[in-house]
Each structure stands twice: as structure tokens, then as C-alpha cells.
Amino acid sequence: MRAWRPYRDEYLDEMLRLEGRRGQSDICGMCRITEGRYRCCEQECFGTGSVCRACCINLHRRNPLHWIEEWNGSFFQHQSLQGLGLCMQLGHELGSTCPCSSPASKDFAVLHSNGIHNVSVDFSSWWPATPTDPQTATMFPLLHLFHTLNCQGKVPAFDMYKVLLRTIHQWRHLKKCKHAGRGHDPTGVQGTSLGELALECSACPHPGRNMPEVLEIEEVKRWLYTLFIALDANYHARNAVISSDEQDPPLSDGWGYFVEKGPYLEHLRKFVSQEEISTCSGFAAMFLANIKNVCGLRTTRVVGCTCARHGIWQKRGFGNLQRGERHCNIDRVVVQALNDVEVEVVISYDIICQWGVHFWERMAEFPDDTRLKLTQDAIIMCMPKFHLWAHKPQCHARFSFNYVCGSGQMHGETIKENWADSNKASAQTKMMGPGARQDTLDDIFGFHNYRIMESFGEYAALSLGVR
């Protein structure tokens, strides 16, 4: 990966060039008469360029399951051959028509090795899902591919395994850079700033973007713009001692959801002998914090940070834990996650009564350039409602959401729901090298954020009773 790093900008430029017309003529490359607005995405049609609608249909009568893109004046958008008007006559020679054709369902779906297609067909080498009025079919090539890989594909699959992993590692990285607009920035990929590749929650308060500047807000209304943060560690996100940072470095270190590794580890070296002592109930988070020998593991778990209202992972809100939930790890992650925050913050953490009690004393020992910018008055510490009753009685009123102005029915357990989703990848990331694991988790967290934010409109309409 270190050898590939200098070529990232060239790869990204080429990816962006392929998104447009690449300097091609607007005229159809086949008939040379009408405007060419369509192009094929499949390798079998490589080099055909843009063609008109009629030529596109003629080119694909033998390949009706190719994916098509249409130029809308600004970019290429997905289009189907069915949308262009292609109809397949099955059971006859190419170009011939059946005098007794029977059209299939308008929603006839075909499963192929390159995806699932909706096609227009007249009832073949398509395997019907049911013998009676079929609406779904599977292509023979897909069945053959699956049968081969399933029965004897282990050898060729493993032969390509390392190449595939290296390629997808680079692909993930470039896609994140592309989505963040780095390909259009004069400084290129190398000019990416910390946290720039992360998707921020568009519904949380951002001064000057979706709310007034902080200084313009009346004191009595500031609670309306409070940021709610949930903090927690995930015991499933382990990482075995495989490869090394030298052989497998992260390609976007600190640019996404994980804190920058170098400064993070340098900070932890100052607290090697720090012991955590619990003065509340006997929680595993505190008991396991001092366990030193975890055989074969580089990382025992991760600590993560999410907005407690919407479940969006925070940029620079993740850090690897080498032992347990030690205060030095949590402190650094919180400082990085809240580094750009200007509004008041409510932090939810299941052992807040232990971590938060001396937080500001520890913060005073931080170097000025790494210290939290928010003042003590701007941060309120709470405990998730489900965990609250497992604590001693003196914690109940002190850390309850019920006594925080503007918290509404906030429960603070949103991050647990997020872990349930990311834990599905824990088995594969456990056996990855450190760089591949970090970039993979960054990508998974980003996909999670995108999927949640995509549903904001529907969620808001439901909350407001708008149908």
C-alpha cells in the first residue's frame, strides 16, 4: 500500500474522467447521425462510446442484460434497456418474431451474474422460478458460476484472494475520496484534512449551516441547539495480531471516523501504568479495563461516538482499545470527536459516573493544542436510561436524562443499536491487518451514516404526521 500511495491522485482522476464524456463527440458513434446519449457499462461492449437510442437497442439484442447509462446533460445516470424499449422474443432465432407470442409480466425479473434486471420479454435459456406464469428467471451463466465456485471454486478463489483484498482496499479508499470531492480539489488526495471523509449528521446543530451562529442565539434558547452524544465501547470489534502497520498502513488515517493513529498512540504511552478504580457497581467495563494480557490480540475492542438522537457516527469518534475502557483512551476520542463543536453538549456513557468524575482534572493535564475547547459549563454528563438502574442510588438523580432541559424522551442507548449493525462485520475484520481493518470499518460506518441520512426525509414526514 505504501508503494501505491503516490499514485492515488492519478487513479482518482481516471475514475472521475470515466464519469463524464471523456472528451468524446456528442454524435452517435455508430450511425453518425443522431446524438449519442447512451453508453454500456459492461466489459463486453468496451470501446463503443456513446450511441443513440436506436443503435443502443440494436447493439444489445444479443446482450439484453447489460447495464446502460444515459447522459442527462450533466452526468451519466442509470437507465435500463427495458426503459429504452428493448423487448426480448424468447424461443426463436434472433430477429424473428413469434406469431403466437405471449407477453410476460411487466415486472419480469431476471437474475444474472451482473445483477437483477427488469426486462420486457415475450415467451429460452432462462431458468424460470416457477413453471406457472413465471415473473422471475435466473440466467444459466449465473447458475453455472455459482455451481462452479460452490463445488470446486476454492482453489481459484484463494489464488486471487490477496489480490482481491488489496484491490478492494484501494477501491474503498478512492470511493471515499471521490465522494468527499477530493478529485476536484487542487491539493488532491494528500490535501485531505482530518475527518473530511466522514459524513456528518445533517440534522444535528451546525452553526452557520442549519442554525444561527452561536453568538447570535439568545441564552434562553440555546437548549434548542444542544448536541447529544452517546459514547460506548464494543467488545466484538477485536483485531488479531496479523500483519503490521508497516506492511498494512491505513490509507485514510484520521480522515474518517477513526482518530489519527500516531498522536493517539503517543498520548496513550503517557498512561501505560494508569489503573482504573471503580467506586460504583461492579461493571465489566471497569473490571476489564486493567486486564493487560489478551493473547493474540492487537485490539481488544473499539470505543465509538455517535449522535444520540439520530444514530450518526461522529467523525474522528473512534479509537482502538488495547486493554479495556481506560480513561486515557476515552478522553482522547472524546476530545477529537468534539474538537469542532461550538454548541452545548450532553454526553451519554454507561460508566459516566466513573469516567466523568475527574474528567476536567485530567483535561487540565492535556497539552494546549489537544485540550477540549468547550468549557465545563457547556458539557452535561448523563447515563443511558437502561443502564441507569444498575448503578448505585446516588447516580440516579445526578446523571438522569429526566432532569436535563431539552432532552425530551432521550434514552441515550442509540449507540447500542449501531453496534448491532456493525457487529456483522466483526468476524471478517478480526483477521485483517491494521490498515485494512481501519479502512474497512471507516467504510462501513460511512455507509451506515449515508443510509440513515437518506431516510431523514421519510422519518421527518412520519414524525410530523405528513403522508
Q: Output the tens digit of pLDDT for each of the chain's 467 residues.
A: 888 888 888 888 888 887 777 767 778 877 888 888 888 887 667 665 788 888 888 888 777 878 888 888 888 888 888 888 787 766 656 666 666 555 555 667 777 666 677 777 665 544 454 455 555 665 556 555 655 554 554 434 454 467 667 777 888 898 899 999 999 999 999 999 999 999 999 999 999 998 989 888 888 888 888 999 999 999 888 888 888 888 888 999 999 999 999 898 988 888 776 665 555 655 544 444 455 556 788 888 899 999 998 999 999 999 998 877 888 889 899 999 998 888 999 999 988 888 888 888 888 888 877 788 888 888 988 888 888 788 888 878 887 888 888 888 888 888 999 999 889 888 888 888 899 899 989 999 999 999 999 888 887 787 777 76
Q: For 22, what's the count of Cα atoms within 13 Å in the CB-facing half-sphere?
A: 13
> Structural domain boundaries of the chain?
24-148, 193-463
CA distance 376 to 57: 67
CA distance 272 to 449: 34
> In the numeric block, which cell numbers belong to residue 337?
470527536
Query: What are the residues facing 138 on neighbouring strands?
Result: 111, 127
Q: How far is CA 447 from CA 21, 36, 198, 231, in A?
A: 28, 34, 10, 20
Contact yes or no for 200/206 (Cβ under 8 A): yes
Among 437, 431, 438, 441, CA closest to 242: 431
> In the numeric block, which cell numbers belong to residue 15?
475514475
| Beta pairing, strands 227-234 & 301-307 | antiparallel
> In the numeric block, which cell numbers belong to residue 326?
481506560
Does the pTM surpass 0.75? The reply is no
Q: For 150, what's the count of Cα atoms within 13 Å in the CB-facing half-sphere?
A: 6
| Beta pairing, strands 68-71 & 115-118 | unpaired
Among 213, 441, 182, 180, CA closest to 317: 441
Query: What are the residues facing 139 on neighbouring strands?
Result: 126
